[in-house]
Amino acid sequence: MSSDNNLQGPELPEALLPPGFLRDPVHFLAFGFGSGAAARAPGTWGSLAAIPAWFCFSWLPPVGYWVVVVVAFAVGIWLCGKTAEDLKVHDHGGIVWDEFVGMWIALALFPDTIYGILMAFVLFRLFDVVKPWPISWLDQYMPGGLGIMVDDVVAGFMALACLFAIDRWVLPVIV
Lowest-pLDDT choice from 36-40, 110-114, 149-153: 110-114
What pLDDT is stored for residue 15 in this prediction? 55
Ramachandran quadrant class, 2 (left: phi over 0; alpha: psi -120 to 50; beta: rest): beta
- Whole-number mean pLDDT of the chain? 90
Confidence of residue 174 (pLDDT cuts 50, 70, 90): confident
What is the amino acid identity at position 118?
A: L
The answer to whether the beta carbons of residues 150 and 170 sit under 8 Å apart is no
Tens digits of residue pLDDT in 106-133: 999 877 789 999 999 999 999 999 999 9
Q: Are 124 and 106 in contact (CB under 8 A)?
A: yes
Question: How far apart, in whole angstroms, are the C-alpha atoms of residue 81 and residue 140?
Answer: 15
**What letter does residue 16 receive in the DSSP assignment?**
-
**pLDDT tens, residue by residue, 59-95:** 999 999 999 999 999 999 999 999 999 999 988 999 9
Stretch among 9-13, 36-40, 126-130, 164-168 having the lowest mean pLDDT: 9-13
| pLDDT surpassing 80 at residue 1 | no
Between 142 and 9, whose confidence is greater? 142
**3-30 pLDDT, tens digit each:** 333 333 344 445 578 889 999 999 999 9
Cβ burial 112-130 (10 Å sphere, 16+ → b, else e):
eeeebbebbbebbbebbee
Tell me, what's the pLDDT at 40?
94
